[in-house]
Every structure is written in structure tokens, then in C-alpha cells.
Structure 1
Amino acid sequence: MTIPSTESLEAEQASFDATIRDIETWWQTPRQQHVKRPWTARTVAALRGSQTLPCVSNPAALKLWDMLKEHHKNRTSELTFGATDPVGVSQMAKYMRTVYVSGGLSGFSENSYPGMDHADYPWDTVPKVVDKLFRGQVWHDQRQRQLRMAMTPEERKTAEHWDYLMPIIADGDMGFGSLTVGMKAAKALAELGAAAIHIDDLALGLKKFTTGQGRTVVPTSEYADRVKAIRLQLDVLGAETLIFARCDTDHAEFITSVTDSRDHAYVLGATNPVFLEKHYTLRRAIDEAVEAGTSVAEARAVWMKDAGLASFDEAVSNAATAAGLSDKLADYTARTGYGTSLQQRRAAAKAVLGLDVAFEWELPRSAQGQYLFRQTVQTIVERALVVAPLSDLSWSRMDLPNYYDLKAYHEAVTAALGPERMFAFAWGGEWPFPESAGWTEERRKNASKILSEFGVVWQVQPMYMIQGVNMEIERAAAIWTAGGMGAYYEQIQTPAVTRKPFKVDGYEKMSWCGGILSDAFFAAVAGEEIAKQ
């Protein structure tokens, strides 16, 4: 026998209408009012269940928002590390106010099959790390509160008092698949404690941060849809979780598709008429090298040089110069602004210059079908502007960052969006900061301060938990194996437990390991009052 809902149609409608009003009111709060949504509150209300539970990450998200806004006002930055270990995070709380959960670090340390950051770990890897860290933060906050409340107010003045509830910024990578997978990942992150999520424009299954060739981005439209999906999911949850929109076109050599005309200006093609006539593809050149047993890398480099690889606009410029028509290029440029398709560019070249420009972007395609792509600062700026209305911070990933590129990017986005726009940035672990890239000794020393002046309010060094921790463990291992307990006592244990003003926390310290908290539970059950004041 079925049991229908006892809710009347009138009550159902009233509840739905109330939800719409609540959402509309929420969107007008200081935290949400800058977001420009392409959907209505009615749509979001229809996607919610009849009851929306409070999102556990909301207090941390609001805390993070206020923190970053304060940094923006003062032209300062929040500095943090990437972390996956609750013990390490508990120590970061003494100096830092946020935590970053890196997908790369999670892939190294939290995956059954660890490896380089290709985002080939299960989609719930980072959410599980966020859950672990968040629960650890809550526990540290709990045992600290209990310990302090067992003291008199006078004793509390000099006792340890750390803010363990540091907002967690989580790596959402490229969303791990279809929009629904990305939405599920965002839901898990927000419900498990992430105060912010960053989402990038790299291609699923083609992420490559190793030394070889092949970093690939998706079309602008696909990147925009990812950000839309994450924002929609957060709206459905009623989550305050921030979105950091990260663009990875810097150092990207491929794009998966030419479906979006906004990308056409940066797709590379062969311009050598002989190659076009013979349809001599890069793939064919590589196959010939493999068959002959010669260097594939060399064959690739030779093909790219001989093919006259260029963007269509570069091909037009070269053809116009050769034909003595350079004076007409300004008219061509005026007709081919942002979003002009290749077909429209061909028509403009024909109309203005009278030329059928040799160009074919199919010839350089990879074995996986990617098109060759030329990144420029302008591509990063354009993508940042597309997704800015639905995101909270803009983030350009720049490997081996050029100072002048960094400056140009942040100034261009700020000019387009206004001085209120905030930015995030991640520093790598092996960047040389050469003067040839604009990094004078003075700029290198003040790199983080310079970015703060550009409007960057959050900076992360995700590699410390590999570089720094590994270095310290190696040092400790050498001390232990060379000198045994005597050396350990003198060089590690004694400095740790006698350190002023607070010794390094460890499980021998009852207040840190929760021993006092455990005793308090027993005492409370026995009927004792455990708080002094």
C-alpha cells in the first residue's frame, strides 16, 4: 500500500515560493551580490529538495571571504602551503590562516597508485583529504576549547590559543569528467568542509605537468560550462563556498577542439603550400620517423619548421607583407576582433587583401586529435573575463612566470573588471626567477609583495610539503641513523620540547593529543563540572 505525502498543494507551493524568496535575499548579501548568474532563483529552488540542510563549510567560506577582502583593501596577501596531513595542518595554524589541498599532493600521498600530477586519481580523492583535514581542525578546536575552559581567565591570558579552523581551499582540477561529475565533486567538497574550490580549463585525461610536450586546454565554452556547473551546484546547496577560476593556457600547447570561435585566433596551422597540397600531416612525419628508427622529437621539430607553423592572423600578415599590402592590415584587424571565426577571418582577408591565405590547422593535429595552440597573455585575460561573472577570484597558472606577463595579465583583468577584482596565484617549486624574465634580485626578494600590489590576495606554495618536509625528514633520518638516541635527544627531542614560548606539539603532550579531553569526558559522565569559569 502506497502512502502519499500529507503535504497539501497549497503548502507545497507556499514552501516553494518561500525558498525562492530566501534565495533571492541570499543573492543580495555582500558575499553573493557580485555574482552574475544566468539562471533564476526559481530554477535553483526547483533543483533543491524540500529541505535544504545548512552547509558545514559556510562559516569557513564567509570567514575566508572577509579575510580576502581585508587583504584586498590593504594590498596584502594570505600566504599558505599545500597540505594533506592533519598533523602538519595543526602546526600551520600557528602562522597561517588558510590551508590548500593540492590535487597533485593528494595524488602523491593519498592515492592507491601514487604518481605525477596527471589528475588520474579518483574524483573523490581530494574530497576525502578535505574531510580528513576538516575533521582534524574541528577536533583540535574542540580539545583546545575544553583545555582553556578548565583554566581560570587569568590562566587563559598566557595559554596557547590558536585558530585551528582555517578555511580550506580545495583543488577541483578540471571537474573529472562530465558536468554532473564536476557537480558531484563540488557537492562533496562543500559538504565536507571546503571553503573554496578552484576549477581549471585543462583537458580531462590529457593533463600533463611532466617534462614532455602535451599540456592541453579545453575550448573557452567548455571551461565556462565547468564554472557554471560548479556555481549552480553551490547555489543548490546554499553553499557560500568560493570559486577560484584558474586558467592554464600559459604553456599549453594543445586545445581539444575548435568548436568555439573565441579560440580560433590562437590555433596554429601549416602555411607551406606544398604541405597543404600533399596533405603532409605531423602525424605522418612522426610515423615515418618511428618506422625509420630515427628521432621522433627531431622529426617533429623539422616538420613544424618546414610547415611554416603560424596562426591565421600571422599567416595573413606574412602574406600581406610579401604582396606589398601591409598598409591594409589595419583594416583586416578591424574586421577580426575577439570571437571572429576562422571562416570570417578568411573572408576578411579575401575582402581586404584579395588573398586566399594558405592555412590548414588540421595538419598539425596530434594522435589524440588535439589542435596546436599558441598561448599568449591575451588568451589568459580573455578566459578570465568570460568566467569572472560566476567566480570569486581569478587565477592564472603561469609556470616559469615572466614578471612582465604577470603584470600585464593582472593589469588587463583589473582594467576590464574594476579594482575590486581579487586574484589568486600559486608559486612552483623549481623556478629560477631569471633576470631575462624580468626578475631582478629586488623583484625576486619581493615577489609575493609585488603580487599583492597587483591585487593577489591569496598565494600558495604547494611544493613545500614535498620539498620542505622531505628535506627535514632526510635531515632527521641522518641524525638518527648516525647517532642513535643520543643524537636524537640532543638535536631533535630537546629543542622540540624546550622550545619557547611553546614547545613543538607532539603526542607526548597531553593537551595536544587529546588526553585531557578524554579525561574530561570521563569526568563529565561522572557528574563533575569541568569548566572553571
Structure 2
Amino acid sequence: MAPTLAVPSAVLEEEARFEAEVAEVEAWWRTERFALTQRPYSARDVVSLRGTLPVSYPSNQMARKLWRLLRAHAAAGTASRTFGALDPVQAILMAPHLDSIYVSGWQCSSTHTSTNEPGPDLADYPYDTVPNKVHHLFMAQLFHDRKQREARAAMTPQQRAAAPPPVDFLRPIIADGDAGFGGATATAKLCKLFVERGAAGVHIEDQSASAKKCGHMAGKVLISTADHVSRLVAARLQFDIMAVDTLLVARTDAVAATLLQTNIDPRDHPFILGATNPAVRGRPLAALLSSNAGLLPPAELQSQEDAWLAEARLMTFAEAVSASLPLSSVPAFLAASSSASSLDHAKEIASKFGASDVFFDWDLPRTREGFYRFKGSVAAAVARASAFAPHADLVWMETSGPDLAECRAFSAGVKARHPHTMLAYNLSPSFNWDKAGMSDRAMAEFIPEIAKLGFCWQFITLAGFHANALAVGSFAPDFARRGMLAYVEGIQREERRHEIETLAHQKWSGANYYDRLLRTVQGGITSTAAMAKGVTEEQFEEEKGGSALVVKSKM
């Protein structure tokens, strides 16, 4: 018998440290923060994927802050309302009024990609684009927090007591992760960037990364439910490896999507459309279009596709069976088939109702790219969001309009299975709100109304973009006509009237802060202070016996 080798003490110490870290992760997962979270991996898996040097991230503090904020809103039936910030000016000016910040992929795609090449929201920009914007805003938040503290430290206790309370510039940032920019490893790397650059939360949608579209464009292709669950698991695993509480928002585009990448997941089967007319048997649409591609003008190809689809009579399997049954039998069939585990199972149920010979073929209408036809609906969104909920902190249904009935149906459907799941809602500027059939009062009450349904995080994705466009689009022609009067009347006086701190833009940008730093370096005095006597910003100080020209500090 071979002698048993003694295990070196260094190895025993390494093993003990490993086991202690595993126990620490398991205890972390048992906290209230993760009471609703399911993981298909173990704490041992997580620790095995970590390095030995513990690293802390400021974004983790922001994530914990965001979690407490949203749970409080959810419990109160209220909502954190925010909008997409375009730059540090917007993010800082939002801080006194809004308790979270949003970073939109659409805004980044159109205004600030890491290659400076603008374009539509197709998620074809470099994948570090949105993390870079998050970092841009987060660094501004940190700086204005430091600047405010320096300003208040220079006050006497009596002055601080008389001054307005400090502004919380450190508003948690939730960022657009699009469709993860690829498979599980791409999603994990993207999430790592978000954590490192300051995001408190990330949302990821169930569209195909290679065919990703803005949620309000046509041509959206969904990946399977299982594939998106894998994306969410990859994101959560990355957060666990980094030991952060970063929030994960799962978005589904299943309401308006028309295409599905694969039928591999039975949970998607009830929403796949098939040909129900036996006359198209043996005549797949993709073959027809491929044989004529390049030979016919695009308009004629489109006409051929439209004619084929009309002849094929596309329906879901449940619709096809219902059309063949007596009306009196349809409710019982729909109730029985609602629990079908797959198309084959649904066919077995249909045969019990005497509908075993219904023609249904979901391969015949597939597109030239191989995609299946998908019947989008709130029911499809509920099914997908319910599958995503155990792996995410919030779920979000992208919609085509502000529809209270859809919100109620989505909330009721998800919460029937996951009563404590938090919901998110896009108050999109892609909607024509004036044509949504709402009164002004209904618009004003829309946010609190759906907050009662559990939509505790609500946001206007592109409000920063539109606000910027409105301001410059109205000022530029006015300036061209009226010169400096347009600037003074339309901007400078309005900044003063609304007490916007950028009126004194040198102070806003931190000149006082760096004067303090310079004096500290040089023993308390310097002849090169930027804000010393002679700075033009003295013109905005309050004049004795006159009107106040300087904005009152909000700090």
C-alpha cells in the first residue's frame, strides 16, 4: 500500500479560506435581498470563478441603495420615475427631483457611441458604448457630491442650518444592456463592465442579439424563453462572482414581436403560428421566395409573400383546433390545452376533443432566414416574464402604447405566479400620447395609476434626447434672428428665474473646489485662484439694494 502523503499546511489553509468564502456567499444569498432569486449553480461554483484578491465596487453601494428604494416604492404602491440622461448636466440637474437615473441604448446609439459613429438603435454599436456613458455620468455624480461637501464644509454650522439641505447627487443608475451583445460570455463581460463603471442595475431583453431592434421598430426576432433565461443566469453569475447586489431587469418584447429564432423551448409553442390550409402543403414559403430572389422586383416578391400568407391562413395550434370544434366545445378545449407542455401534448388533448386531423404546420411559413412566425400578445409577455422572474429583480413588458388594460393584464398574470416580483414600465416617447385616447388628467395620473399595479420603476427612455433637441432647436433659430437678446431672454433670464445652478457655470463646474485644493496644496493661500477677484462670475452676485442676480444654491 502506497503511503498517504501529508497535506501541506499551506494547502489546508487555502482549503479553509475557500470553504469560509463559500459559507460567506451562502449566507449572502440567504438575506432578504435574494429571497426571490433562483440560481442553477452553487456558491462553490461562484467562489471557484473568483480571484483571490477581494475587490469592492462603488456601484455595489448604489445597487443596495436602488434595491431599498424600489422595495419601498413597491410596498407603498408608488414608483421611482426617471428618464434617460444624455450627459452629466442632465444627470446632475435631475438629482434634486428624481431618485434614479436611466441610461438608454437608443440615446447612446444616436449620440454617443464609443466610435463616435451615430446610428439607429440596432445594438450594432461597440458593446462598451453604454457602459462608457454610465461611467461618464457616474464620475459626474461623484464629483458633484465631492464639490457639494467641500462647499458645505466651508460654511459655519449656522450657515449650514440656514442653507437648503444637501442634494443627493448619487442617484442609482439603471442601464440598457440591450440583448447582451451575444451569448452567455458576451452578456457576462458586458455586465462586468457595467459594475466596474457605476451601474446599479442593468436591463436585458429577449430579442436576438444579431437582429436586435428598438422595441418600437418592426422586425423583432425573439430568442427562445430558455435562451433568455440563460442570459439572465449569466448576468447573475457575473454579479455573484463580483460579489455585488446589482439589480437585473428582464425585458420581454413578446407583445409586438412577430418572429421567433427557434421552437426548441416548449414554453414558446402556444404562440407559434402555423399554416392551417392543406393547400400549401409541400410549398414552403422560404423556398418560393428563394427561387425568385434576384429575378423579381422586391415589390413583386412582397406580393408573393403576402398572397402565400393569406392562402396559408396562419393561426396558433389552439386557434386552428378551436376553428374546427363546435362552439360549445371550445372553452373546454382551451382550458384543457392551457396546461399543455408542448405542441405534441396539445395535439394529444385536441384528439380527445375529436380534432386529431387538424392541419397545422409551423415550418411551412418560416422566413428565408429560418425564423418561425410568432403571435405576439400580452399573454405571450406574461408567459415569458413569468419564466424570467425567478432570475431577475424586475420584469418589463415593452408595449406599443400606454394601455392601462394591458398593464392590468400583465400585472395580474405575472403576480398570479410571482406575487412579489417588481415591475418596470417604459413611458416611451415613441408613443403619440396625444393620440392615446387620454385626457390631460389621465396622462398626469398614468404613473401613479400603474404604480398601484406594481410598476415601481417607470422611465421615459429618451426624454433627455428630446429635451436637448427642443432646447437647441428652439434657441438656434431665435439666436439667428435676434442675436444676444434671444440668449438673454430665452436662456440666461430663465436660468435665473428657475434658479438653475448652471447660471453660474464656473462655480457649477467645480472651480471653487479646485481653488480649495490649490490653497490646501500651497498652505492656504494662492495668487492663481480661478474664482478670485476679477472673475466674471462676480457679475451674478447679489447686488446691494438691487435684485438678486445669482441663483440660490440648492446645496
Fold-level match, TM-score > 0.5? yes
* Structure 1, 149-158 or 130-139: larger mean CA deviation: 149-158
Q: What is the rounded CA distance, in whole Å, between the counterparts of 1:288 and 1:393 in structure 2?
A: 46
Q: What is the rounded CA distance, in whole Å, between the counterparts of 2:461 and 2:471 in structure 1?
A: 16
SS at match of 1:257: coil
Alignment of 1:219-258 (within 5 A): 219-258=224-263
Q: Shift of residue 414 of structure 1?
A: 1.7
1:115 matched to 2:122: no
CA contact (8 A) 1:404 1:438 kept: no
Which of 166, 171, 176 aligns to 2:176? It is: 171
Distance 1:434 1:358, change over 3 A: farther
Which of 37, 40, 43 aligns to 2:42? It is: 40
CA contact (8 A) 1:265 1:311 kept: yes
Q: Shift of residue 333 of structure 1?
A: 4.2
Q: Which residue of 2 aligns with 1:429?
A: 429
Distance 1:410 1:487, change over 3 A: same
Q: Shift of residue 512 of structure 1?
A: 1.5
Which of 199, 203, 206 aligns to 1:198? It is: 203
Which of 111, 119, 125 aligns to 2:129? It is: 125
Which of 490, 499, 504 aligns to 2:501? It is: 504
SS at match of 1:169: strand
Q: Which residue of 2 aligns with 1:3?
A: none
Distance 1:442 1:7, change over 3 A: farther
Q: Which residue of 1 aligns with 2:399?
A: 398
Q: What is the rounded CA distance, in whole Å, between the counterparts of 1:479 and 1:444 in structure 2?
A: 31
Q: Shift of residue 280 of structure 1?
A: 4.2
* Structure 1, 284-293 or 85-94: larger mean CA deviation: 284-293
Q: Shift of residue 55 of structure 1?
A: 2.1
1:375 matched to 2:372: no
1:417 matched to 2:418: yes
Q: Shift of residue 307 of structure 1?
A: 0.9
Q: Shift of residue 413 of structure 1?
A: 1.4
Which amino acid is 2:423 matched to? Answer: F
Q: Shift of residue 58 of structure 1?
A: 1.1
Which of 188, 192, 200 aligns to 1:187? It is: 192
Deviations 1:168-221 (A, max 9, x none): 001111111010010000011012110001111011121223886411111010
Which amino acid is 2:250 matched to? Answer: A
Q: What is the rounded CA distance, in whole Å, between the counterparts of 2:515 and 2:184 in structure 1?
A: 48
CA contact (8 A) 2:87 2:137 kept: yes
Deviations 1:221-268 (A, max 9, x none): 001111111111111110111111111111000000000111111111
Q: Which residue of 1 aligns with 2:142?
A: 138
Q: What is the rounded CA distance, in whole Å, between the counterparts of 1:76 and 1:17 in structure 2?
A: 42
SS at match of 1:340: coil
CA contact (8 A) 1:103 1:171 kept: yes
Deviations 1:366-394 (A, max 9, x none): 12111000012121111111121121111
Q: What is the rounded CA distance, in whole Å, between the counterparts of 1:191 and 1:373 in structure 2?
A: 37
Alignment of 1:43-62 (within 5 A): 43-62=45-64
Q: Shift of residue 400 of structure 1?
A: 1.8
Q: Which residue of 2 aligns with 1:150?
A: 154
Q: What is the rounded CA distance, in whole Å, between the counterparts of 1:235 and 1:170 in structure 2?
A: 18
Q: Shift of residue 477 of structure 1?
A: 0.8
Q: What is the rounded CA distance, in whole Å, between the counterparts of 1:483 and 1:117 in structure 2?
A: 37
SS at match of 2:231: helix
Q: Which residue of 1 aligns with 2:315?
A: 310
Q: What is the rounded CA distance, in whole Å, between the counterparts of 1:10 and 1:175 in structure 2?
A: 40
Q: What is the rounded CA distance, in whole Å, between the counterparts of 2:219 and 2:344 in structure 1?
A: 27
Deviations 1:392-413 (A, max 9, x none): 1111111224321211111221
Q: What is the rounded CA distance, in whole Å, between the counterparts of 2:241 and 2:411 in structure 1?
A: 32
Q: Which residue of 2 aligns with 1:526?
A: 522
Distance 1:152 1:122, change over 3 A: same
SS at match of 1:31: helix
Deviations 1:466-508 (A, max 9, x none): 2222011111112211111233223322332x335x34315x4
Q: Which residue of 2 aligns with 1:19?
A: 21
Q: Shift of residue 328 of structure 1?
A: 5.0
Q: Which residue of 2 aligns with 1:97?
A: 99
Which amino acid is 2:231 matched to? Answer: R
Which amino acid is 2:98 matched to? Answer: M
Aligned residues: 515
Alignment of 1:464-475 (within 5 A): 464-475=463-474
Q: What is the rounded CA distance, in whole Å, between the counterparts of 1:455 and 1:210 in structure 2?
A: 22
Q: What is the rounded CA distance, in whole Å, between the counterparts of 1:361 and 1:166 in structure 2?
A: 48
Structure 1 stretches lacking a partner, 5+ long: 1-5
SS at match of 2:21: helix
TM-score normalised to structure 1 length: 0.91
Q: What is the rounded CA distance, in whole Å, between the counterparts of 1:75 and 1:175 in structure 2?
A: 31
Q: Which residue of 1 aligns with 2:456?
A: 457
Distance 1:212 1:365, change over 3 A: farther
TM-score normalised to structure 2 length: 0.87
* Structure 1, 280-289 or 108-117: larger mean CA deviation: 280-289
* Structure 1, 208-217 or 55-64: larger mean CA deviation: 208-217
Q: Shift of residue 291 of structure 1?
A: 3.7
CA contact (8 A) 1:57 1:192 kept: yes
CA contact (8 A) 2:225 2:267 kept: yes
Q: Shift of residue 422 of structure 1?
A: 1.4
Which amino acid is 1:523 matched to? Answer: R
Q: What is the rounded CA distance, in whole Å, between the counterparts of 1:409 and 1:172 in structure 2?
A: 23
Q: What is the rounded CA distance, in whole Å, between the counterparts of 1:467 and 1:475 in structure 2?
A: 12
Q: Shift of residue 432 of structure 1?
A: 3.4
Q: What is the rounded CA distance, in whole Å, between the counterparts of 2:393 and 2:400 in structure 1?
A: 22
Alignment of 1:435-454 (within 5 A): 439=438, 442-454=441-453
Which amino acid is 1:44 matched to? Answer: V
Which amino acid is 1:33 matched to? Answer: A
Distance 1:503 1:398, change over 3 A: closer
Q: What is the rounded CA distance, in whole Å, between the counterparts of 1:443 and 1:364 in structure 2?
A: 42
CA contact (8 A) 1:148 1:159 kept: no
Q: What is the rounded CA distance, in whole Å, between the counterparts of 2:440 and 2:150 in structure 1?
A: 48
Distance 1:512 1:98, change over 3 A: same
Q: What is the rounded CA distance, in whole Å, between the counterparts of 2:361 and 2:18 in structure 1?
A: 54
Q: What is the rounded CA distance, in whole Å, between the counterparts of 2:355 and 2:415 in structure 1?
A: 39
Q: What is the rounded CA distance, in whole Å, between the counterparts of 1:44 and 1:355 in structure 2?
A: 49
* Structure 1, 486-495 or 16-25: larger mean CA deviation: 486-495
1:264 matched to 2:269: yes
SS at match of 2:401: coil
Q: What is the rounded CA distance, in whole Å, between the counterparts of 1:159 and 1:445 in structure 2?
A: 32
Q: Shift of residue 63 of structure 1?
A: 0.9
Q: What is the rounded CA distance, in whole Å, between the counterparts of 1:394 and 1:290 in structure 2?
A: 43
CA contact (8 A) 1:265 1:312 kept: yes
Q: What is the rounded CA distance, in whole Å, between the counterparts of 2:401 and 2:242 in structure 1?
A: 38
Q: Shift of residue 283 of structure 1?
A: 5.6
Q: What is the rounded CA distance, in whole Å, between the counterparts of 2:9 and 2:103 in structure 1?
A: 43
CA contact (8 A) 1:247 1:380 kept: yes
Q: Which residue of 1 aligns with 2:541?
A: none
SS at match of 1:205: helix
Q: Shift of residue 281 of structure 1?
A: 1.4
* Structure 1, 178-187 or 349-358: larger mean CA deviation: 349-358
Which amino acid is 1:466 matched to? Answer: F
